[in-house]
Structure formats: C-alpha cells, structure tokens
Amino acid sequence: MLIQSTRLGEIEIDESELIHFPYGVPGFLDEKEFALLAVQEGNPFSFLQSTREPNLTFIIVDPFSFFSDYEFEIKDEIAEEFGFNEADVLQIMSMVRVPENPEEMTANLLAPVIINLVNRRAIQFVLEKSPYQIRHRLFPQGFAKEPGKGGK
C-alpha cells in the first residue's frame, strides 16, 4: 500500500502493519488508519502517519525513555474491548508537541496511546484522576551541548 505524506514523502507499507484506531484519534475522529514509522532503530521517536490525509503526521515518543517512573493502569473495560491480555505485546506512546524552539518540546502523558502490536488496534485515552498533564517537557534542561561544539 502506498501512503502519501507531506512530511515524509511517499511511503510503502504492508497493509498488515497498519494501526487501526476504531474511535479515531482525539481531534481527528474520522482518521482511523495509521502507519507507525520508526525514525530510526533505537530512537524513541516515531511518526504516526494517516493513511488518508497526507498532512496528518503525528510525532510520538516512547515516554519511558524520558520518564522512567511513568505509570498508569488500563481500565478493565478498555482492556476487554481491545482484547488486551497477557499474551499481547503493548506499545505505550505519547503524542509530542514540537514548538518553534525544539528544546521546549513536550509529551502528552495524560492521554497515552496504547498500541496492541498483536492485533494492530490502538486507542488514545485520557487518564482519570492522574497527576500527569498534556505538556511534560522532554528536555527540561535543554539539549546537552558537547564540549567544543558551541557548549560551555
């Protein structure tokens, strides 16, 4: 399957690798099929590209790479509806906001994206009674500067 992306160009992906969001993504409820595209091996960032809308590309991140103590419980009704069980491989991701200054990019920890890598179904849902917010800075100290590379 060929997917058009204004940010990533033309992408070929096997349809069996698509991620299906039965309820869409908040703010884009009609967008239900996405390609999950790694930036590169070992990089915590990925792209979530709509299969229908070339202009709709989300940047998502593995939140545990930045927030090792991040935790939450998946509601029983969501686990049941999406068929989440002990045999499944779940990938937890967070939507990323990239402002003009990339050092100020944030992750939405309040509404995680849960992807079942076995049945390729996903949901983004808002946690209830959570200490998390929609904008947690990924680089609160800014980008690390290497000595001799413009840093002090």
Which residues, in sequence order, are CB contacts of 55 under 8 Å at separation 6+?
A: 6
Asked whether residue 142 is domain-assigned, the answer is no
Residue 150 belongs to a domain: no
**116, amino acid identity:** N
Q: In the 8-state DSSP scheme, what is residue 23? A: T
What CATH number does residue 97 fall under? 2.30.290.10
Domain presence at residue 146 = no
Residue 96 near residue 139 (C-beta atoms within 8 A):
no
Closest CA to 142 of 109, 94, 108, 101: 101
Residues with Cβ within 8 Å of 42's Cβ and at least 6 positions away in sequence, in order, are none
User: In the predicted model, what is the mean pLDDT of residues 110-135?
Assistant: 93
Confidence of residue 111 (pLDDT cuts 50, 70, 90): very high
The verdict on residue 151 lying in a domain is no
Residue 27 belongs to a domain = yes
Please give the DSSP secondary-structure letter assigned to residue 40. Answer: S
Q: What is the pTM of this model?
A: 0.87
Residues 6 or more apart whose CB falls under 8 angstroms from that of 100 comprise none
132 in Cβ contact with 109 (< 8 Å) = yes
pLDDT score recorded for residue 39: 86
User: How confident is the model over 45-74, as pLDDT tens digits?
Assistant: 999 999 999 999 999 999 999 999 999 988
Domain that holds residue 61: 2-137
HSE-CB at 34 with a 13 A cutoff on CA atoms is 33
Looking at the structure of the chain, the number of domains it has is: 1
Residue 13: the pLDDT is: 93
DSSP class per residue in 49-96: EESS-TT-EEEEE-GGGT-TT------HHHHHHTT--TTS-EEEEEEE
